[in-house]
Amino acid sequence: MAEPIRVVVTGAAGQIAYSLLYMIARGEVFGKDQPLILHLLDIPPMVDVLEGVIMELTDCALPLLREVIPTTDPAVAFKDVAAAFLVGAMPRREGMERKDLLSANVKIFKIQGQALDKYAKKDVKVLVVGNPANTNAAVCAHYATTIPRENFTAMTRLDQNRAQAQIACKVGVPVADVKNVIIWGNHSSTQFPDASHAVVKIGNAEKPAIEVISDADFLKSSFVEIVQKRGATVIAARKMSSAMSAAKAACDHMHDWWFGTPAGKFVSMGVMSDGSYDTPKDVVYSFPVEIKNKQWKIVQGLPINDFAKSKMALTNKELLEEKNEAMAVCSAD
């Protein structure tokens, strides 16, 4: 069996981590033959809760889990890690927008970027889940100067999963028979879920989703709004933010980054923009990507219609505003 790899999860005593840690430790992310050492980071008031989480991980008797290291010290948390799930952040509550979280959370991700830079492996794969995820990832990358910027990503896989599920429900097929739905832009209410390049498997044939659905009004209105507002809808129902589905999406994101995407299939990830599709450079932007040998590559050459351009312009503007505000907060700190 392979040598263990070290994986850090921040906010490890929180709701998302409660589902995420089990999925990671049972081999759903890095493979069923990859032993793990889990580093669990949280704030001092959560230490007692963290101990309970560790007891549960122990009681699961997971064959791949070799060691669990709980800590409140970033120097310990990020030491020699090969992968990082940055989940810990001030949670969004009912009535809050992601920009309300910006000031408090960018300071957290500045510290964690500096710690990753100093202690983690230089090829560490970093997934930011804590919101505002795109801008937090950009801040993290900015302060980890010796780690390639392409190693910092933000999670829009939850939005992709939501969009994929909505199309599957609309068409009446298993969710596995829908692929290549795209999330453009920010993980926020300005994101643009785009079904125009999606494919649905009907019988033994793959057909364009727009052809199968045959309802342009739905794809431009209800579909977009349901996905954009799904997080707020879950909060209104649960009185807490998405946890189980967020943990599953984090696993999907990191698994595909680790193992790659099949030919003909792409997934959505928040990655550092190079200006593709007339997006602003140097913000973390959700694009369709293909992954090979642990390296993502933005899918190029997809036609973008005027409706899509108008939606992408809104999320472009928001991401630039968030980035400028975040850097001002970091500079003043």
278: DSSP letter: G
Contacting residues for 170 by C-beta, under 8 A, at least 6 apart: 213, 215, 218, 223
- Mean pLDDT to the nearest integer, 237-259: 95
The reply to whether 92 sits in an annotated binding site is yes
The reply to whether 157 sits in an annotated binding site is no
The band of 96, judged by pLDDT with boundaries at 50, 70 and 90, is: low
Domains of the chain: 5-154 (3.40.50.720), 156-321 (3.90.110.10)
The band of 91, judged by pLDDT with boundaries at 50, 70 and 90, is: low
- Mean pLDDT to the nearest integer, 253-274: 97
pLDDT > 90? residue 102 = no
H helix or E strand, kind and range, residue 76: helix 74-77
Across 5-18, b (16+ Cβ under 10 Å) vs e yields bbbbbbbbbbbbbb
The band of 332, judged by pLDDT with boundaries at 50, 70 and 90, is: low
pLDDT at residue 329, as a whole number: 79
pLDDT at residue 92, as a whole number: 63
pLDDT > 80? residue 94 = no
Between these two residues, 91 and 145, which has the higher pLDDT value?
A: 145
The reply to whether 149 sits in an annotated binding site is no
Q: 116-143, pLDDT tens digit by residue?
A: 999 999 999 999 999 889 999 999 999 9
| Low-confidence winner among 22-31, 83-92, 265-274, 324-333 (lowest mean pLDDT) | 324-333
pTM for the full model? 0.95
Q: With contact defined as beta carbons under 8 Å apart, do 40 and 53 qualify?
A: yes
Q: Which residues belong to the active site?
A: 187
